[in-house]
Amino acid sequence: MSPMAKWLPLAAIALLAGAPGAGAAELSAPTKKILSALKLPASTLDGLDKELAVPQSVLAGAKKEGALTILGSWRPKEFNRLSAPFKKRYPFLKVKYNYGRAFNARAIRPIVAYKEGRYIADVVTGFGGSRRLYKEAKALEDLRDLPGFKNAIDGNDPEGSWVAIRLRFWCMAYNTSRVKKADLPKTWDDIVSNPRWHNAKIGVGNRPQLWLLMLRGAKGKAWTDAYIDKFFNVVRPQFRKEGLNALVTLVVAGEVDAAIPAGPSRVERYAKKGAPVGWHCPGPIPRATSRTAVLKGSPHRNAAKLWVNWLISKEGQVAQYYGEGTAPAHKDLQMAELLTYSEQVHGREQVSEDVSKLADLKKVWGQYWQKAPKKGEGGKKRKKKN
């Protein structure tokens, strides 16, 4: 055997050992930067090559289309951070991003335009509350041909109309100057049983689907109906008209001791700035899913599917956590390193949503909410036209 023949196997082994994650696609500079910032090993992305192996027709179609428009709930700075690896990996695509801060902008306007024969986006995200409208209009592409479709821990549509892109844990924000850790409720029942939380100490938003829907699935209708009654009549929180982000600011300002529901990423932003706010999860932990979809027949459907498949891959999921701090929906990335306030979530019992129970939950909750005295403006008022 020649010296060269002996050398080749050793070189192959060395190259494999030094590769960016065994079995992973070549990692770009933006991805390496993200892994370094999060202190994650390259092996976190093992198997990425298989996840990114979309059908050849999708890749060829995306190259021909050359562009796509994404409508989402990420703030522009967050989107720029999380999308950098995608833009590097697929430089032949021109990505346009529109920030749909309000639900109507990101969920209702696209389906209205679609019914009129227009497209204002190729990809929609954060449209969960309007899923029925999209389904009835048969407005969404089937995504089951994407290799990443099976990645999600839960939340994908069995018929392929949408995929889960992130997990949301909706618990409570609390003012760290006003609340002792010893007083924090271990379970949701403790809020009812402990007078410390009664009589306007808690600010609550009109979003039962973000926390009670999961608890209803786990504990049943009888428990949930009784809990709602006690929550309104025994706990007697402040019923707030403001949005969920504003609820956190009320906690920071000390107007309420705690707020329900609250997500961890928003709380963390204030806490990092020195605000007296923390995030706590009574058990079990309500777990919601944010979704994305591709509008059927859009002029950039292949490019859109390429984006979606990347976003639900390990690379996309880690990049999204880096960009906005939300937990991955990928079943292989359920780790403490990718969770904000991980000590509150990781390894604890989580309960996911059962959308079949949503209508009944809203009916029962709504009967109480309509009668309850409200505080807050509930958003900016529209100016009257002359």
Predicted pLDDT of residue 371: 94
Check residue 353 and give its pLDDT: 87
- pLDDT of res. 25: 65
The pLDDT score that the predictor gives to residue 378 is: 54
For residue 21, what pLDDT is reported?
40
Same fold, 29-166+290-344 and 169-287+347-375: yes
Fold entry, domain 29-166+290-344:
D-Maltodextrin-Binding Protein; domain 2 (3.40.190)
The percent of the chain in helix, strand and coil, each rounded to the nearest 5, is: 50, 15, 35
Q: What is the pLDDT of residue 155?
A: 87
The per-residue pLDDT for 176 is 98
The tokens describing 194, both together, are: 């402990």
Q: CA 115 to CA 107: how far, in whole Å?
A: 13
For the chain, the domains span: 29-166+290-344, 169-287+347-375
In angstroms, the CA 87 to CA 172 distance is 36
Order of strands across the sheet with 171-175?
Answer: 277-280, 171-175, 258-262, 202-204, 238-240, 374-375
Which CATH number is associated with domain 169-287+347-375?
3.40.190.10
3-class DSSP assignment, residue 280: strand
For 86, phi and psi rounded to 5 degrees? -65, -45
Site of tokens 């509008």: 295
- Whether the CB-CB separation of 239 and 375 falls below 8 Å is answered with yes
Cα 276 from chain centroid (whole Å): 25
Q: Which residues of the chain have pLDDT under 50?
A: 1-24, 379-386
Asked, as a colleague might, if the bond just before 373 is cis with ω within 30 of 0, I would say no
d(CA 334, CA 351) in angstroms, rounded, equals 15
